[in-house]
């Protein structure tokens, strides 16, 4: 049903802008401007004007071929800002510590911010090598297990908007997807397996397994991963099975939906 709530009489443009962003955040993928106008009860001309302004600032992206609009990287920055301001870190810190103790490997919690992941909790296991995934570090999402887990849970149109061409792909070790088609294959495997992996794409000699944390509408707000040396080899599916209960508990604490 259309949203019939009335805009504040003093700042209707601000009210409409926030309602548009909130509406897009609840969708499983980009939507047409006319759908936004109809559902929110906002004149279509106003919707186009506001979307154009939001696009200039990176809060929405336009997919011309599909004539649809979705959330932009600046919107992910807001989500990352929320995560950095303690709630997720506080809720997840003890869980990540317990996961590191249980697996004997280093564990971390990360959120998406644009095309990067931002690490907000890290627990290094004893006698394990130092990692680059320290708290506050950003890494290219398409190269990390946490990033791939979250990207695989996003609508495919959203992934295409984030990675439109080869110029969107950063490199660290010469491994990993470098084109949209290669990333699609990686994410297809993640969806089939139910977890993400990376092997030497962040740091040579280290591997990671990651599982996404979904919010109450099924949106990936974070991911939990375990990182371990390539030698001796460990079974990724077994590690994913140990991560999954931790993801479920964090999802329960934040009021998220069952996977």
- Identify whether residues 113 and 213 lie together within a single domain: yes
CA dist., res. 54 & res. 59, Å (int): 5
Question: Mean pLDDT of all residues in the chain?
Answer: 87
- Identify whether residues 158 and 221 lie together within a single domain: yes
Flag whether pLDDT at 5 surpasses 60: no
CA dist., res. 80 & res. 48, Å (int): 27
| Dihedral, CA of residue 180, residue 197, residue 225 and residue 135, to nearest 10 | -50
pLDDT score recorded for residue 26: 81
Tell me which of 54, 71, 88 is where a domain ends: 71
- Using DSSP's 3-state secondary structure scheme, residue 139 falls into strand
Of 79 and 153, the structure prediction assigns the larger pLDDT to 153
pLDDT score recorded for residue 72: 84
CATH number where 49 lies: 1.10.10.10
CA dist., res. 6 & res. 27, Å (int): 21
Where in the sequence is the domain holding 18, given as residue range(s)?
12-71
- Identify whether residues 89 and 176 lie together within a single domain: yes
Flag whether pLDDT at 48 surpasses 90: yes
Q: Is 66 among the domain residues?
A: yes
Tell me which of 35, 51, 71 is where a domain ends: 71
Q: Is 106 among the domain residues?
A: yes
CATH number where 86 lies: 3.30.450.40
pLDDT score recorded for residue 259: 43
Highest mean pLDDT among 2-6, 22-26, 170-174: 170-174
Flag whether pLDDT at 65 surpasses 70: yes
Give the global pTM: 0.70
Q: Which one, of 237, 247, 232, 155, lies nearest residue 196 by Cα?
A: 237
pLDDT score recorded for residue 49: 93
Flag whether pLDDT at 9 surpasses 70: no
């Amino acid at each position: 049903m259309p949203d019939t709530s009335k805009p504040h009489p003093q700042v209707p443009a601000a009210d409409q802008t926030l309602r548009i962003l909130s509406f897009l955040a609840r969708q499983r993928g980009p939507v047409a401007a006319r759908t936004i106008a109809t559902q929110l009860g906002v004149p279509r001309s106003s919707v186009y004007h506001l979307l154009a302004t939001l696009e200039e600032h990176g809060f929405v992206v336009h997919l011309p071929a599909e004539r649809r609009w979705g959330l932009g990287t600046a919107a992910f920055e807001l989500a990352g800002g929320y995560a950095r301001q303690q709630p997720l870190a506080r809720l997840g810190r003890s869980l990540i510590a317990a996961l590191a103790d249980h697996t004997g490997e280093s564990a971390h919690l990360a959120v998406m911010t644009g095309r990067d992941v931002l690490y907000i909790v890290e627990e290094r296991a004893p006698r394990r090598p130092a990692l680059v995934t320290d708290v506050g570090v950003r890494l290219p999402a398409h190269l990390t297990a946490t990033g791939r887990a979250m990207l695989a849970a996003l609508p495919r149109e959203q992934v295409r908007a984030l990675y439109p061409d080869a110029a969107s792909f950063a490199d660290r070790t010469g491994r990993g997807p470098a084109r949209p088609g290669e990333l699609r294959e990686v994410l297809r495997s993640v969806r089939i397996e139910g977890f993400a992996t990376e092997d030497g794409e962040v740091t040579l000699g280290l591997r990671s397994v990651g599982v996404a944390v979904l919010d109450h509408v099924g949106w990936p707000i974070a991911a939990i991963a375990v990182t371990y040396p390539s030698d001796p080899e460990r079974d990724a599916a077994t590690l994913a099975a140990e991560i999954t209960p931790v993801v479920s508990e964090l999802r329960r604490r934040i009021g998220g939906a069952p996977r």
